[in-house]
Structure 1
Amino acid sequence: MGLAGPAAPAQAAEITDGLALWYKLDATSGTVAVDSSGNGRNGTVNGTAGWSGNGQGLTFNGSDTYVKVPDNIMSGMNSITVSMDVQIDATQATPYFLYGFGNTASSGAGNGYLFTTGNSFRAAIASGNSSTEQNTRTSAALQRSVWKHVTYTQTGTTGVLYEDGVEKARNTSVTLTPGSIGSGITTANHIGRSVYTSDKLFKGRIRDFRVYDRALSPGEVLDVSGNTTGIGAATHPDLKIDAIVDDATSEITLPLTEGTDLTTLAPQFTIAQGATISPASGTPRDFTSPVTYEVTGSGGEKRTWTVEALEMKSPVLPGLTADPNLVRFGDTFYMYPTTDGFAGWSGTKFKAYSSKDLVHWTDHGVILDLGPDVSWADARAWAPTATEKNGKYYFYYSADTNIGVAVSDSPTGPFTDPLGKPLIARGAFTGQMIDPAVFTDDDGKRYLYWGNGRAYVVPLNDDMVSFDASKVTDITPSGYNEGTFVIKRNGTYYFMWSENDTRDENYRVAYATGSSPTGPWTKRGVILEKDLTLGIKGPGHHSVAQVPGTDDWYIAYHRFAIPGGDGTHRETTVDRLEFDSGGLIKKVVPTLSSIDPVSVGTVLPTHTNRSLQSVNFPGRYTAVRSDNLAYLDPVTSSSTPTVKQSATFTVVPGLADPTCYSFRDSSGRYLRHKDFRVRADASNGTAVFTKDATFCARPGSVTGSVSLESYNYPGRYLRHYNYELRIDTFQDTATFRADSSFKAVSPWA
C-alpha cells in the first residue's frame, strides 16, 4: 500500500472546539465507525471492512467499502472544516470522491453536496449538479501511495484547501454555505463514496476523519495534520502574491512588489500550536540572500527552513493574457497576445503593447475586434502573430478556428481585413487551423506556420495574403500540440512548439533543429516547463526575440495566473533564452522576477527591399558597373552628369561584424567593398565623412568628403566607423553623393 506516514497527531484531541464528528478509524473489527467527538454520530461501514488496528486506518477496497455518515450532518452549519489522513491506492480509478456530503437525485446525479477529491486535488460545494460547483482547486492530482493530510475549510465567502497543513488553493467567491445544501436535509453522506452513482468508489486508506462546524485557523490545520515543524504560511505587507510554501523541500519564496527594500524584511510565519521558530516571526533581517529559520515542534523535533525574497516583476502585461507574440520592429518590441479570462477562450478582441526595453510596456488598446472588423468570424480570437514588409504590417490571427490576416500601416493598427474571408479556413487541413506564426529568412522569404494537432508550413506569396496550397508541408514532430515558433541562429533553424493541453499544468515547450525553414527536423527535447516551487504551472505558447547586434535572446510565454490560474486564466511573462557552445538551446529557467531592462538603440530594419540609387552630384560623374553594383567613379574631370541607374538591394546582417548591416543585391553580391557596412548609431545631426576608402572591391584610394543619405527610416542616422547614412522621412531610396573636394588619388584598375 506504500509508505506508512505518521500516526494521528498526539495533540489532536486538544482541538475539540466545534468538533461535530471524529472517526479515528482505529478499530480492529466490526462495522461501526465510532464517533469520538462525543456527539454520538457513529457511522456504518458497508462492504468489506479492512480494519488494521495499528494506526493504518480503515482500508477501502474500491469495490464495496464505504462509510455511511448520519443524515443531515451539515444542518445549521455556516462554516465547516473537513480533515483526514488519506493514502490513495496507486490503482485508484476515476472519478471518485474521498467523501461526499449531500444528496443524490433520482437520475443518479448529485443534487447539492460538499466533497473533496484527489484527482485533480480539489474541493467543491454545489447547490445542484456539477454545473453548480464552486471549486477550490489545484491543477495537480494528490500524490498516491503515501499518507497525505487533507483539510478543507470554509467560512464566509472563502474556501481553503490544505495539503499536509499547507494551503494549496483558495476560493474567495463562495456563495453557498454547508447548511444551505438541501435546506439542511442531506441523506447521501459518505466517506469513500461519491454522491454520483456512476462514480468509482475510493480505494486506499483513511484515518482520523474529522468534521468541525467552524473553519480551523491555519495554525490549527498544521496541528491536526501532524506537521508540527511545518510553516503553513508567511506574510508581509509588501507581498505581491501569497508566499509560496514548499513543505517537501522546506523552502519558502516571498514574491514582493517592485522596489521593496530587501535589507530589512520582517515576515511573519504561521506555525503549529506549541511550536517555536528562530529567529522569531517579525524579526527584521537582510533578505538580499536567502536566510534560514529553525522550527521546533511541540515534541522537540526540529526542521530548518530556507526563505528567499525576490522582487516579482511578472507578469509583464497587465491582466490576463496568453499566447504572446513578441516581435521587434526597428528599435521597438511589440507584444500581441490573446486576451484571456473568458470561458471557452471566447474573447473577441486583440490588443497591442510596445516596449523599448522588454520591461515597461505601453498598452495601445484594441487593434482588431472580430465583431465589427471581421465579417466572417465574431468569436474565439486567439494566438496572433505580426510581421512587416515594405512598410506594411501584416497581422495573422486565429478566429473561430480559422486563420485570418489583416493589414495596417502601423504596428499598432488599426488593422483591416483585405480578404473578407479566412486565409486558411476551418477544415482545410487535418487538425485545427489556429496558432499562426511567421518566420522571415535571410533572403527575405516569409514562411507561415500553424496548427493544432498537426503542424504545417508554407511559403507566403509576395503579397503576404496568399500562398500556393500545393506547397503546404506537414512538419508535425512527436509530442506536438500547438504554438509553433521558428527562429534562425548561425545558419541553424530552430522549430519550437508546445506540448500537452494548455489547461494542463504540464503544458511545456519543446524544440527541434533543422537546415531549412521546412526541415527536416531533429527533435532536441523540452526547454521550458513548470516549476511548482515557484507556483509556475503550464508555461508555454511562446515566442522568441533577439536584441539586435547581440546574441541575447528572450522568450515570452504564458503560464497559469499566480495564484489560482488555470487554462483560461493565464498571464504573460518574459525570461532569458540561451544557447550552449554547440548551438543547442539551454533549459529555460522560468522566474517570477522576469528580466532587467534591455537596450536596443537605433536599429536598421533588416530584410527590407528598397531601391538603392546612384545619383549624380554637380561636378561629379556616376557610373554603373556591368555587374549592376552602383558606385561613384572617382574621376578628376568636371562635367555634367550623364548616368543615373537604380538597383534593388536587401538589408542583411554584415559579414565579419554581426552588429553591422550591408546592402546586398538579389544575386547575393554586396554593395561596395565587403568591409563597407553600416551600423545603427544614435547620433543626431547630419554627418559627412572624410576617409581613405576602397570601393567596389577594386584597388584605389580616394580623398574628400562623401555623404550617404536617405534610407527611409525617419529621423535616425546609421554609422560604420566614420561613414554616415542620413535617414530621410519621406524618401524611399538610399542615395549617395560626392562633393567638390572628392578626387581619385590613383586610377581604377
Structure 2
Amino acid sequence: MNLRRTLAVAFLLTAAPVLADNPQFQGADPHATMIGNELWVFPTGGPGGSWAADRFGAFSSRDLKTWQPRGELIRRDQIAWIGADGAPEHFLWAPGVVTRGGKWYLYYSVGPQNPTPSRIGVAVADRPAGPYRDSGQPLITGGQGFEAIDPMVFVDPKSGTPYLYAGGSAGAKLRLWELTPDMVGLAREVSVETPPQFTEGAFMHERNGVYYLSYSHGRFNGPDYSVHYATASSPVGPWRYRGAILTSDRRHKGPGHHSFVQTPGGGWLIVYHRWENPKGPAPFSGERQVAIDRLRYARDGRILPVRMTDRGASPTLRGK
C-alpha cells in the first residue's frame, strides 16, 4: 500500500449520498454486511478524497446505486496506545466488523509493518455507525515473520464460537484465534495451516454446512492480485484448495480483499476492490474502487468464477 498518501477526510464529514453503479465508490478492503434491508460497507477510505488513513467510515445502500455516508466510526487520535511503539507514523486500514449480544465490534489494522511490527486493535459500539470506543490495548502484535493485518471475525453458527483470522502480506502466514466471550480478548490460538496461494485478506463464511475460507493472492498493486478459496468441514480446516474465483480481466486489474454477503433475496454478493483500467504497467498507482458482483455456486457447492461488471450490469440486493 502507498501508506504516505495525503490524508483527506471530507468524505466522512458530508451526509450527501453517493450515486453509483460499478464501480460503486472509491475505497479499498471493503467489509460488507447486511443490516436490515441495507447493505453496509466498511472500507479503507471512501468516496470523495484520497485514502483517509487516520479514521474509518461506513456507507450503506438499499439498492446498490445510492450510498449514504454513515459518518465517522473512530479516529486514530482516539486510540490511546497507537503511539506506544515509538514509530514515527501510523495508519489505519482493513476494518472488519461483527455484531454479538447487542454490541458492534470493529477490528482494524495499525501499521505500517516497519520499523515496528503491525498491530490489530478492536473497538466497541452500541450501533453499527458508532461511535466506537477502543478496547484500550492492541489485540495482536506482529513479529517474528508474522504481519498482524487484515482481521476478520467469524462466529460459527454451529458452536457459537467466535474466531479471528488475520495475517498475510510479506510473511503470507495465516493465523487463527478463538476470542473470549466479550469479543475483545484472545482465549487461545488455534493451530491452522496456511492454504495454498494465500497472501492476505482472509474471509470466512458458511453455506449448507461447508466452510469457505477465501483470501487474496498476489501483490495488491499488480495484475496478479486475485481471490482464491479453500473449503473445509469446520472453520479451522483442514483446507481443500479449490482455486481462483476472481482474477484480472482486460479492463479491471488486481481485484481482491473482498467479503461475501447473502442478500434478502437469497442470492450472494462479493464486495471487493479493483483498479479501473489502470494506465501503464504495475505497480499501479492512484485509487482503488469498490465493486460488487454476483457470487454463484455450482450444485456441488463449488464457487463459480466471478464475472466483473460495469454500470447497468451491476447486481441488485433482490436478485439471485
Matched, 1:595 2:306: no
Amino acid at match of 2:269: Y
Query: 1:413 corresponds to which residue?
Result: 130
Determine the structure 1 residue equivalent to 2:295: 577
Q: Could you say which residue in structure 1 is the equivalent of 2:10?
A: none
In the TM superposition, what is the alpha-carbon distance from 1:564 to its structure 2 partner? 4.2
CA distance in 2, matches of 1:509, 1:416: 32
**What TM-score do you get using the length of structure 1 for normalisation?**
0.36
Q: Which residue of 2 aligns with 1:536?
A: 252
- Please give the alpha-carbon distance, in whole angstroms, between the structure 2 residues aligned to 1:557 and 1:585: 16
Aligned to 1:491: 209
Task: Give distance in 2, aligned partners of 1:446 and 1:331.
Answer: 25
Please state whether the residue corresponding to 2:185 is helix, strand or coil: coil
Distance in 2 (alpha carbons) for counterparts of 1:473 and 1:568: 38
Contact 1:353 1:363 (8 Å CA) reproduced: yes
Cα distance in 2, alignment partners of residues 475 and 568 from structure 1: 34
3-state secondary structure, aligned to 1:539 = strand
Using the TM superposition, give the Cα deviation of residue 526 of structure 1 relative to its aligned residue in structure 2, in angstroms: 0.3
Q: Any gaps of 5 or more consecutive residues in structure 1?
A: 1-257, 259-311, 601-749
| One-letter amino acid of the counterpart of residue 356, structure 1 | R
* Cα distance change of structure 1 residues 506 and 567 upon mapping to structure 2, 3 Å threshold: farther
Of the two, which has the highest radius of gyration? 1
Q: Displacement, 1:595?
A: 2.3
Residues 145-180 of structure 1: CA deviation (Å, up to 9, x unaligned): xxxxxxxxxxxxxxxxxxxxxxxxxxxxxxxxxxxx
Q: Does 1:426 align with 2:159?
A: no
For residue 347 of structure 1, report the CA deviation from its aligned partner. Answer: 1.5
CA distance in 2, matches of 1:591, 1:527: 14
Aligned to 2:42: 336
Using the aligned pairs only, state the percent identity: 39
SS state at 2:253 partner = coil
Equivalent residue, structure 2, for 1:462: 181
Cα distance in 2 for residues equivalent to 1:571 and 1:457: 29
- Residue number in structure 1 paired with 2:261: 545
User: Which residue identity is paired with 2:184?
Assistant: V
Give the CA deviation at 1:567: 5.3
Q: Say whether 1:404 aligns with 2:121.
A: yes
Evaluate the alpha carbon distance shift between residue 472 and residue 576 of structure 1 in structure 2; reply closer, same or farther with a 3 A threshold. same
- Flag the 1:475–1:360 CA change in 2: closer, same or farther, 3 A: farther
Please say if residues 270 and 294 of structure 2, whose CA atoms lie closer than 8 Å, have aligned partners that are also in contact.
Answer: yes
Shift, 1:441, TM fit:
1.5
1:513 aligns to what?
A: 231
Q: Is the 8 Å Cα contact of residues 150 and 201 (structure 2) preserved in structure 1?
A: yes
The whole-number CA distance in structure 2 between the counterparts of 1:572 and 1:546 is 18
> What is aligned with 1:475?
193
Distance verdict in 2 for CA 1:519–1:548, change over 3 Å: farther
Paired residue secondary structure (1:361): strand
Instruction: Report 1:245-264 matches (<5 A).
Output: none
Which amino acid is the alignment partner of residue 592 of structure 1?
D
Between the two structures, name the one with larger relative contact order (CA 8 Å, sep ≥ 6): 2
Q: Which amino acid is 1:493 matched to?
A: Y
Match 2:152 to one of 424, 428, 437:
437
Q: Secondary structure at the match of 2:140?
A: coil
Note if 1:556 corresponds to 2:271: yes
Query: Match for 1:314 among 17, 22, 31?
Result: 22
Cα distance in 1 between the residues matched to 2:72 and 2:268: 28
1:376 is aligned to 2:91: no
How far is the alpha carbon of 1:579 from its aligned partner? 0.2
Query: For residue 553 of structure 1, what is the amino acid of its counterpart?
Result: W
Q: What is the correspondence of 1:614-625 to structure 2 with a 5 Å cutoff?
A: none
* Contact 1:356-1:599 within 8 A present in 2 as well: no
Corresponding residue of 2:97 = 386
Maintained 8 Å contact 1:397/1:435: yes
What does 1:52-71 correspond to in 2, within 5 Å? none
1:385 Cα deviation after fit: 0.6
Paired residue type of 2:272: Y
Give, in angstroms, the shift of residue 346 of structure 1: 7.7
Counterparts of 1:522 and 1:371, CA distance in 2: 42
- Whole-Å separation in 2 of the counterparts to 1:313 and 1:356: 13
Q: Residue type of the partner of 2:120? A: I
Give distance in 1, aligned partners of 2:265 and 2:237. 27
**Runs of 4+, deviation exceeding 4 Å:** 562-565
Tell me, yes or no, if the aligned pair for 2:148 and 2:166 is still in contact at 8 Å: yes
Deviation at 1:371, TM superposition (A): 2.4
* C-alpha distance in structure 2 between counterparts of 1:568 and 1:465, whole Å: 35
Contact 2:253 2:278 in 1 (8 A): no
Whether 2:167 is the aligned partner of 1:451: answer yes
Q: Tell me, what secondary structure is at the counterpart of 1:512?
A: strand
Deviation of 1:548 after TM superposition, in Å, equals 4.0
Structure 1 residue 438, shift from structure 2 partner: 1.3
Counterpart in the other structure of 1:298? none
In structure 2, relative to structure 1, the CA distance for the partners of 1:568 and 1:466 (3 Å cut) is farther
Q: CA 1:563–1:499 in 2, change beyond 3 Å: closer, same or farther?
A: closer
The separation in 2 between residues aligned to 1:467 and 1:413, in whole angstroms, is 23
C-alpha distance in 2 between matches for 1:567 and 1:526: 24
Deviation digits for residues 528-579 of structure 1 (CA, Å, limit 9, x no counterpart): 00111xx1000001000001462x1000000014454935521101000000
Q: Residue 459 of structure 1 aligns to which amino acid in structure 2?
A: E
Distance, in Å, in 2 between the alignment partners of 1:467 and 1:372 is 22
User: What secondary structure does 1:407 align onto?
Assistant: strand
Tell me, yes or no, if structure 1 residue 324 matches structure 2 residue 41.
no
Look up the equivalent residue of 1:347 and give its one-letter code: A
Considering only aligned residues, what root-mean-square deviation do their CA atoms show, in Å? 2.2
CA distance in structure 1 between the aligned counterparts of 2:195 and 2:52, rounded to whole angstroms? 29
CA distance change for structure 1 residues 484 and 466 in 2, over 3 Å: closer, same or farther?
A: same
| 2: CA distance, partners of 1:549 / 1:369 | 35
Structure 1 segment 29-44 matched on structure 2, within 5 A: none
Is 2:81–2:138's contact at 8 Å kept on the other side of the alignment? Answer: no
Number of corresponding residues: 280
Given that 1:577 and 1:585 are in contact with CA atoms closer than 8 Å, whether structure 2 keeps it comes out as yes
Compute the TM-score of the two structures, normalised by the length of structure 2: 0.81
Aligned counterparts of 1:397 and 1:475: Cα–Cα separation in 2: 23
In 2, the alpha carbon distance for the partners of 1:542 and 1:507 equals 11
Could you tell me which runs of 5 or more consecutive residues in structure 2 were left unpaired when the two chains were aligned: 1-18, 84-88, 112-117
User: Is this contact kept in 2: 1:359–1:595, CA < 8 A?
Assistant: no
Q: CA deviation at 1:596?
A: 3.6
Q: Distance in 2 between matches of 1:439 and 1:545?
A: 13
Q: Distance in 1 between matches of 2:80 and 2:36?
A: 29
